[in-house]
Amino acid sequence: MNNKEFIAELSRRGGYTTRDATDMILSLVEVMTEQWQNNDSIVIQNFGSFEIKKKLERISVNPVTKQRLLVPPKLVLTFRPSNVLKDKFK
């Protein structure tokens, strides 16, 4: 499902216009992005949680040249599904 199909399905199920559904999605993404920029996690009941985690620096090896490279630390976004969501896919 691509973005256009998702918005069409959301507007159909919720009884919204396509424009309203698009605005809701954009607002949702904007709020989530602001929370992540503040290093806050987001928990959505019966869906899961989004969290920013710090990956430590590490040494990586190029398999062709055998050259060792230092990979700097970075922040990554992680998703952990809720047990309800996990149970639906068993």
Residues 6+ away with beta carbon under 8 Å from 73: 54, 55, 56, 57
Superfamily of domain 41-90: IHF-like DNA-binding proteins (4.10.520.10)
For residues 31 and 44, the answer to whether their CB atoms sit within 8 Å is no
Could you give the C-alpha distances from 3 to 28, 42, 72, 88, in angstroms and in order?
A: 14, 22, 33, 23
What average pLDDT does the chain have?
93
For 63-82, write each residue's pLDDT tens digit: 999 999 999 999 999 999 99
Domain ranges of the chain: 1-40, 41-90
For 29-45, write each residue's pLDDT tens digit: 999 999 999 989 999 99
